[in-house]
Amino acid sequence: MYKRYIVELGTGVDLHGIDVNKAAKKAVNDAVSHGCLCGLVEILSITDTNKSIKIDVLIASPYPERIDTEEIKREIPFGKVNIEVKNGGLEVKGVSEESFGPGDKIVMVNASLTVNVDVD
């Protein structure tokens, strides 16, 4: 039976180009960088993190249909990963500078990672 161990939150931004996948990867990496899961190995004696850990990822993006979930999964270092994408995040007017990328929009994507552990 899986039980929730930790929830981490992250934010990612693409300042130029309206690339929500770039922002989503930054958001996931931001969330991953906030938690150290040493207790899983040391306290719970987990030896196979890919078998015993399930990670639920929720992505909130202003353009959810553009999110490539397989690309985002590669940002998670271990575990069985499930990704849900919903409308959210933020889009605001930025600066138009062709050398930085197309458009003048900034997009922000939010991510939550819930780490669940099989505690038989």
**Domain range summary for the chain, segments of one domain joined by +:** 2-118
> pLDDT at position 57, please?
98
pLDDT digit string, tens, across residues 33-75: 998 888 787 888 888 888 899 999 999 999 999 999 999 999 9
Can you tell me the distance from the alpha carbon of 104 to that of 93, in angstroms, rounded to the nearest whole number? 6
Does CATH place domain 2-118 in 3.30.1330.20? Answer: yes
pLDDT digit string, tens, across residues 83-108: 999 999 999 998 777 766 667 899 99
Tokens 């997009």, residue located = 107
Cα 69 to the center of its chain, rounded Å: 10
